[in-house]
Amino acid sequence: MSDTIASLQIGEKGFIEHLCLENIPLKLLEMGCLPGIEVQLIQKAPMKDPLYIKVNGSHLAIRKETAEKITIVK
């Protein structure tokens, strides 16, 4: 199984490898969640959803369901 943003541990980084454009909100793409970009997991909410990530110097909150659809390379 491929690694996804949801599989990162707090503080861990990875590079976005693939994302399915039909499953990813346009706002995330506009904020720089694109293949080849480094992403870091900053924090998980108490119920593990949402996840707080750092992409292109910005901190974003994304749903775990969405994070599971973005594959990464550690």
Q: Specify whether the backbone of 23 is left (phi greater than 0), alpha (psi in -120 to 50) or beta.
A: alpha
CATH code of the domain in which 36 resides: 2.30.30.90
Low-confidence ranges of the chain (pLDDT < 70): 1
Domain count, the chain: 1
State which residues form the domain around 48: 5-73
User: Dihedrals φ, ψ of 7, to 5°?
Assistant: -90, -5
Amino acid 1: pLDDT:
59
Q: Determine the Cα–Cα distance for residues 26 and 12; give it in Å rounded to an integer.
A: 25
Amino acid 31: pLDDT:
87
